[in-house]
Structure 1
Amino acid sequence: MATTDPMLNETLLLLAGTVLAAPLFKKLGLGTVLGYLAAGIVLGPVLRMINDPQEVLHVSELGVVFLLFIIGLELKPSRLWQMRGDIFVLGTAQVVLSGLALTGLAWLTGIASWQGSVIAGFGLALSSTAFALQILADNGESNTLYGRRAFSILLFQDLAIVPLLALVTLLGAGSEPHANTFFIDFAKAAVAICLLILAGRYLLTPMFQVIARTGAREVMLAAALLVVLGAAILMQLAGLSMAMGAFLAGVMLAESSYRHELEADIEPFRGLLLAMFFIAVGLSLQLDAILDNLVLILVGVPLFMVVKAVILYALSRLWGSNHDDAVSIAALLPQGGEFGFVLFTTAVSASLLTPATASLLIASVTLSMALTPLGTALSRRLMVRETREEIAEDFEGAGADVLMVGFSRFGQIAAQILLAGGSDVTVIDDSPDRIRQAATFGFRIYFGDGTRREVLVAAGIERAKIVAVCTHRQEITDKVVDLIRAEFPETRLFVRSYDRIHSLSLRAREVEYELRETLESGLLFGRKMLEGLDKSEAEAAEIGDDIRRRDEERLQIQAAKGITAGLHMLHTRPVRPEPLTKPKRTPVRDATEAEEEADTI
C-alpha cells in the first residue's frame, strides 16, 4: 500500500489550517493573526500533528523578511519628511518610554535575566500594525487626526524592529568580545551595507529596466525574489539580520518606478509566509509553561496594556492631541504586536529567553490583541464629545487624489491639466520606454500592470478619489474597468473610450464619465475649418456645441435602444454626398496611427 510523504502531509495541514482559521477569526472580528496562532496551537501543542515546529518556523521567517522589504518600499523620503514630527519624536518617545517601563516590570517579575527583560520590555512596547490599521479601516477613521498620528507611531515601531533585532544580536553575543573581533565584525557589516547601497543606487533600476523589456512576468518575479533574498543573505553573512538586509533593499527601491510592481509581486509570498510564521509561533507554544503561569498572564496582560495606554495618552497630550484623540490612540495601541513574536523567537535562538518564557510572552501578546476591540469600545465612554475632528485627505507617498492607469498621449494631456490644477496624480504604466520618456519631461510614473489587482492596491486605488483609465487599447481598458468594477465597486471611474460602440459598452458598465479620444479634437478641428471658410468664431462654436449636444442625445438613445437608434439626429440639415472616389492608400507607419484611422465619432 502506497504511503504519502510526511512533509507533504504536514504542508497540507498547514494550508488547511490557514484556509479554515483566517476566515473564521475574521468573521468573529478577532483578526487573521489570532486565527493563524490558534491554528498553530491546535495543530501543534493540542493535536501534535506537526513533528518539527522549528523547521516550519525557520522557513516561514522569510515572511518577516518580505514584510520588512515592503515596509522599506513604502518609506519614500518625501513621506517621511512630511510626518517627521509624529514619527521620529512621538514614535521614539513611545517606544523608549514604554520599553523602559515594561523592561522594569519584566525584571521585577523575575521571568528573565536583565538582558532578556530588555528584549521582553521592548518587544511588548511594539503594537500590532496590521491589527490597529484594520480597526481604523473598519471604523472609517483612517484619515482622522488621531488615525494619522497612530499610524505615524506604528510606522516608527516598524522601523524600530531593525535596531531591536540588532540589539538581540548584541546582547546575545556574550560578554566582553575581543576588541579585534568587534572591529572586524563592524567592518564586515559596514562593507555589506555600503555594497547594498551602491547596488541599489546603480544596479537595481537598470536591471529591472532590462528585465521589463523582455515582457516575461516570471523573470520580473524571479528578479524581485533575487533582490530580497540576496540582500537578506548578504546581511546575514555580515553578521546582521536578514530582515535588515531586506529593509535596506526596500528603501533603495522606494523611489524606483518599479516599486508598485515589486510590491505586487512580493505581496503573495509575504502574506502566505507571514501566515505560516504566525502558525509556526502557535506550533512552538509550550502549553505546560502557560498553564503553570496562568495567574501571571491574567494579571500581567492587563497591567502591561494599562502601562502602555497611560504612556500613549500622556505623550499624545504633550504632543498637542486633544483629550478624545489621546484616548483613542491609547485605546488603539496598547496591545503587543507581530514584531514581538519576531523578537521573542529570535531571542530564544540567541539564548536570551528560554522557550518557556517566550511562550509566556507570546501568549500575553495574543491575549492583548484579543482584548483590544473591547478596549476601543470602552474608551468611547471616556470621551467628552461624540465627534472627532476630521482632516483633509493627504495621499503624499501613499497614493494620490487621482490614480491614472496608462500614460498614453491622451493621459499625458489630462495629467498636465490635473497637475496645473494642483491635484496629485499617481500614474502606472507597463511600458519601460514610456516611463523613461516621461521622466525626461518631469513626469513621475510607476511601472506596473493595471489589469492586476495587487498593482492597483499597491498604487493606492483604495485611497484615490478618481481612477482615470487612459490605456490606448480597448481590450486592456475593458479588463481594467471590469476588474475595478468587480473588486472596487465604489470607485469613481473616468475612462478614455476607443469609439462610439466602446462608449456605449462603458456606459453599460456604469462608469461615471467616458470620452472618445478623437471627439473633442475632431470638433475643434471642424470649427477651425469653418472659421477658415469665413464663418465667425461664435457661429462655428455654436455649430460645434450643437453637434456635441446631438451626439450626446444620440448616445443616450443608443444606450437604451441599440446602436442603430437615433440616426435621424446625425445632422442638423440634409447632407448631399459627394461622388465616391477610391482614395490613394498610404502605408500606416505604426500601430498608433492605425488606431487613429480606426477611431470613429
Structure 2
Amino acid sequence: MDHGAAHSFVAESAPLLGFALLFVLIFRRMGLGATLGYLVAGALVGPQLLGLVGGAESKMGIAEFGIALLLFLVGLELSPSRLWRMKRDIFGFGLLQVALCGIALSVVIGFGANFSLAAALALGLPLALSSTAQVLPMLQSAGRLRTPFGERAFSTLLFQDISIVPLITIIAILSRNPADAQGPPGWLLAIYTVAAITGLVLAGRYLLRPLFRLIGNWGERELFVFAGLFTVVGAAALMQSIGLSTALGAFIAGVMLADSPYRHEIEADIEPFRSILLGLFFLSVGMMLDLTAIAERPVFVLGMAAALIATKTVVITGLAMAFRMPWRQALGLGLLLSQGGEFGFVLFAQAQNALLIAPEAVSIFSAVVTLSMATTPFLMMFTKRFRADAVAVQGEREGPVSDGSNALIIGYGRFGQTVGQMLNAQGIAVTLIDTDIEMIDIAGQFGAKVYYGDGTRIDMLRQAGAGEAQLILFCLDGDKIEPELVEAVHESFPNASIFVRAYDRRALLKLKGGPAAGVVREVLESAIVMARKAMAAVGVDIEEIERTEDLYRRRDRERLRIQHEAGSLTAAREAIIGDPDLDWRPGRRDAPDPLEPKAATGSECG
C-alpha cells in the first residue's frame, strides 16, 4: 500500500467509524438494533449524501467475510448430532419456504412490474432469502437462538444459505450471456458441492482437530487466532473456487469443530473480527444504497418493499402454522424473516452478468432489500405486545390451577429450577408459574409442568392454590419484588411462609423487616463457595478458611443490621473486610482483632 492509499484509508476510516458509533448508539438506545444504525450511517457518509467515504464496492468485498465468520461461529454452536435432529426443519420447512416465497415473489414482480419470466425469476428467487446477518444477532441478543422458535428460524436461514448453490445454477441456466455457456453444467456443480463438503468434513476431523490440539499444548493464544482465521478463510476459499457460497463453507468448518474441546477458545478469538466485519458489511450496504433511484421512483420502491414484506410474512406464517406452530409464534417467525437478505445483492449481480436484468433494476431492487431490512426492528418492536400478551387470554397456555401443592414457585429460571428440584427431592409437591413462553416450552421437554401466569398477582396466586400452600417462593430475576407485594401476599395467605430471591444488597435491605420468612441474595452463597475454593487452591488451611467465612458472615450480618437501622447503604463502611494494605488474616499473632474497624473497600451492592 503506497502512502497515498494509506492516507486515504486513514482519512476514510475516521468518519466511517465515527458515524457508525454515533448511530449504533442512538438506535441501540431506541431499541431498534445495531443493523439499522449501520445502514443509516453508511448512507450518510456514502457518495449519495455527504460523500465522506467512497469505494463501497471494495469495502463490501472485505465485509462479506464478516458473514462467513458469523456462519462459522453459528456452526461452532451446532454439533453434528444436533444438526441431524434439525433435519426436518432444515430440509422440510426451509425448502418449502424458499420455493413458495420465491415463486410468489416472482409472480408479484412479473405481474406488478411487467418483467419477463426470466427477469422475474432472477429477482423473485433471491428475494425469498432473508438476512442471516441481521436475524441471527437479533435472536442471540434476545436469548432465543437455542429455543424451539430460534431453532426453526435458524434452520430456515441455514437452508437459505445452502440454497445459494441451486439459485446460482438456475440463473446460469437462464443466462443470456454467451460466456456463461462455457461454465460447468448444474449437475457437475452439484458434484463439486458434495465433494467440497466431504473434503471439509475430512479436513476437520483429520487436520483441524490435531492442529488445534498441538496449538493447545503449546499454549500460544496468538496461534489460536491465526488458526481460527485460517480455518474460516480456507473453507470459504475452497467453496469460492468452485463458485459456491463462502458462508456455507465457513459454516461446515464450524460444525466440524463444534464438539471439540477448543470450541470456546476459538469462538472467543474469532468473535471480535466477526463483529467488526459484520458492521462494515452493513455500512457498505448503506453506502451502496442508490438514493437517486429511490428518489426517481419512490412509490415503486416503497410499494415493492411493502409487497416483499407482506408476501413473505403471509407465506411463512401460513407454512409455520401448517407445521403445527402456534399462530402467534408463526406470525413472529413470518415478520422476523420478512426482509430481503444480503445474499440478494450477490444474486442480483449474478443476474446482471447473465444479462437477465439491467443495472437500473439491480439498483432499485437493492434499495428494496435494504429498505425491507430497515423495517424488521420496527415490525418486531411494534408487534411484540400483540404477539405475546394474548397468549393466556386465548387459552393457548394453561394457567395455574389449585392441585394441592405444598409450594408455589414463581419464576422457573436457573434459580427456580434448583429450588424446585430440591423440594421435589423431599416429596414436596410444587406448582411452577412463569410468563416466559420459551422457558415453559423448554421445561416441558424435560418433563416439568410450568403454568403460564403472572405470579405477582394476588388473584393468580389464589387460583394456583396459595390459600392451601405452605410455601410461596418468589424466584424471579431482577429487582422485581417490592415490600408492598410481600405485605399483600402475607395478608392474603397468612398460613404460607414467603421466601424471596433478592437481586442484591439494596433489594435485601428494602425487604428486611417485612413478613418474608427468608430473603436470599442470589449470588452470596455461590460467591462464598468460590472464595473458599480459591483459598484452598493457594494452600490456606481448612480451619483458617472456616474462620474467614465465619468472620465475613458475622461482619455482613452486622452491616445489614446497622444499614437497616440507619436507612442508608453507606452505613457501617468500616466493617468491610478487604484492605489490601492490612493483613487481617485470622490466626496471625500480629493480626489485629477481627472485630476492630477496618478501612472500607469493596462493593456496597453485593
What is the deviation of 1:351? 5.3
CA displacement, residues 544-583 of structure 1 (integer Å, 9 cap, x when unaligned): 9xx9998854441355565859879xxxxxxxxxxxxxxx
Provide the rounded CA distance (Å) in 2 between the counterparts of 1:58 and 1:130. Answer: 15
CA distance in 2, matches of 1:285, 1:129: 19
CA deviation map 1:407-443 (0-9, x unaligned): xxxxxxxxxxx9xx9xxxxxxxxxxxxxxxxxxxxxx
Structure 1: gaps of 5 or more residues: 392-399, 403-417, 422-464, 466-488, 492-506, 527-543, 569-601
Tell me, yes or no, if the aligned pair for 2:130 and 2:160 is still in contact at 8 Å. no
Match of residue 17 from structure 1 = 19
Change (3 A) 1:552 1:6: closer
Question: What's the offset of the Cα at 1:204?
Answer: 0.5
CA shift, 1:123, in A, is: 3.2
Q: How far did residue 69 of structure 1 move? A: 1.9
SS in 2 for 1:249: helix
Unpaired runs of 5+ residues, structure 2, are 400-412, 416-421, 426-476, 478-501, 505-522, 557-574, 578-582, 589-606
Candidates 272, 275, 280, aligned match of 2:276: 272
Say whether 1:335 aligns with 2:339: yes
Give the conservation status (yes or no) of the 8 Å contact 2:32–2:378: no
Q: Deviations over 1:371-398 (max 9, x none)?
A: 345544357558893547499xxxxxxx
* TM-score, length of structure 1 as denominator length: 0.61
Rounded to whole Å, the distance in 2 between the matches of 1:321 and 1:183 is: 36
Match of 1:65 among 63, 68, 76: 68
Structure 2 CA distance, aligned partners of 1:93 and 1:181?
Answer: 25
- Asked whether the 8 Å contact 1:331–1:372 carries over to 2, the reply is yes
1:108 to 102, 111, 114: 111
Q: What residue in structure 2 maps to residue 296 of structure 1?
A: 300
CA distance in 1, matches of 2:258, 2:94: 21
Corresponding position of 1:557: 554
1:294, distance to aligned residue in structure 2 (A): 0.9
Q: What's 2:329 paired with?
A: 325
CA distance in 1, matches of 2:37, 2:348: 19
2:309 partner letter? M
For the 8 Å contact 1:317–1:323, the answer to whether it is kept is yes
The residue that corresponds to 1:511 in the other structure is 527
1:90 aligns with 2:87: no
* Cα distance between partner residues in 2 of 1:133 and 1:238: 27
Q: Is the 8 A contact 1:324 1:385 kept in 2?
A: no
Quote the Cα distance in structure 2 between the aligned partners of 1:347 and 1:48. Answer: 29
For 2:340 and 2:126, the matched residues in 1 are separated by 7
1:290, 1:360 within 8 Å by CA — same for their partners in 2? yes
Contact 1:91 1:157 in 2 (8 A): yes
Aligned position for 1:164: 164
For the 8 Å contact 1:14–1:276, the answer to whether it is kept is no
Decide which of 176, 199, 204 is 2:208's aligned counterpart: 204
Indicate the larger mover: 95-104 or 73-82.
73-82
Deviation of 1:214 (Å): 1.7
Distance 1:188 1:47, change over 3 A: same
The 1-side partners of 2:266 and 2:276 are apart by: 16
Aligned to 2:28: 26
SS at match of 2:163: helix
Within the candidate set 382, 390, 405, 1:385 is matched to 390
Aligned residue in 1 for 2:593: none
Indicate how the Cα distance of structure 1 residues 550 and 83 shifts in structure 2: closer, same or farther if over 3 A, else same.
same
SS of the residue 1:126 aligns to? coil
- CA RMSD of superposed structures (Å): 4.4
Match of 2:226 among 210, 222, 225: 222
One-letter amino acid of the structure 1 residue matched with residue 311 of structure 2: V
- Contact (CA 8 Å) 2:149, 2:329: kept in 1 or not? no
Task: Using the TM superposition, name which of 340-349 and 95-104 deviates more.
Answer: 340-349
Residue correspondence of structure 1 range 47-446 to structure 2 within 5 A: 47-110=50-113, 114-129=117-132, 131-132=134-135, 142=144, 148-149=148-149, 151-168=151-168, 170-172=170-172, 174=175, 177=181, 190-344=194-348, 347-348=351-352, 352-376=356-380, 377-378=382-383, 380-381=385-386, 385-387=390-392, 389=397
Structure 2 Cα separation of the partners of residues 213 and 390 of structure 1? 53
Which region of structure 1 is more displaced relative to structure 2, 507-516 or 106-115? 507-516
Alignment coverage as a number of residue pairs: 437
Inter-partner Cα distance in structure 2 for 1:384 and 1:215: 51
Instruction: State the TM-score, normalizing by the size of structure 2.
Output: 0.61
> Could you tell me whether the CA contact under 8 Å between 1:558 and 1:564 is conserved in 2?
no
* Residues 172, 352 of structure 1: 8 Å contact kept: no
Q: Matches of 1:98 and 1:152 in 2, distance apart?
A: 17
Letter in 1 for 2:167: L
- For residues 47 and 561 of structure 1, the distance between their equivalents in structure 2, rounded to whole angstroms, comes to 56
**Which range is displaced more, 234-243 or 285-294?**
234-243
Relative to structure 1, is the Cα distance of residues 564 and 229 closer, same or farther in structure 2, using a 3 angstrom cutoff? closer
- The alpha-carbon deviation at position 184 of structure 1 amounts to 6.7
